[in-house]
Amino acid sequence: MLIKATTEDTDGGAAIELTPIIDMVFLLLIFFLVATTFHQTEREIRIALPDAESGGPISISLDEIIINVASDGSIIVAGRDVSIDDLRTIVSESVERNPSQKVTIRGDRAASYEAIVRVLDVCKGAGIPEPFLDTVPIP
């Protein structure tokens, strides 16, 4: 016996089958859950960003390289620690493939200025005209 969810008019008139509607809602829900993935490997949890009055929402574009500078000065790209020479290679190769490459630098608020400047220097030397420094808005 096939059970169908319907709402029937008390006068015996038209009926609306709810089963296809419920199926479609569940399919849409599953689609959006699968389609919205977050790049947590790029947004290291151990990075505490400094506050800034002009800070905005964090967004990721498809062709963006995110460079994290931890409080101890270590450099993290795509979830793995890299040396300054490896970073130079990564950024240079990306600029060769895409001259309008976007780079976001996320420096921990306790990271030394020198560590962040080294990363900025690598980006500028590789041809990134305007690397973006990520901050969070002041609450």
Q: Where would I find the beta strands (DSSP E) of the chain?
A: 6-8, 15-17, 51-52, 64-69, 75-77, 80-82, 102-107, 132-133, 136-137
pLDDT for 60: 43
Residue 8 has a pLDDT of 57
The rounded mean pLDDT for the chain is: 80
* Among 6-10, 50-54, 92-96, the range of highest mean pLDDT: 92-96
Predicted confidence at residue 89, as pLDDT, reads: 93
Query: What is the percent of the chain where pLDDT is above 70?
Result: 76
Token pair recorded at residue 26: 């569940």
What is the Cα–Cα distance from 99 to 109, expressed in whole angstroms?
A: 30
| pLDDT above 90 for 87 | yes
- Any idea what the Cα angle at residue 53 is, between residues 49 and 62, rounded to 5°? 55
Q: What's the pTM value of the predicted model, to 2 decimals?
A: 0.58
Q: How far is residue 14 from each of residues 2, 17, 77, 101, 110, measured CA to CA in Å?
A: 19, 10, 60, 58, 67
pLDDT range class, residue 33, cuts 50, 70, 90: confident
pLDDT at 85: 93
Q: Which residues are paired to 64 by β-bridges? A: 102
Residue for token digits 């795509």?
78
Question: Are residues 98 and 63 in contact, defined by beta-carbon separation less than 8 angstroms?
Answer: yes
Paired sense of beta strands 75-77 and 64-69, if any: antiparallel
Residues, the chain, total?
A: 139
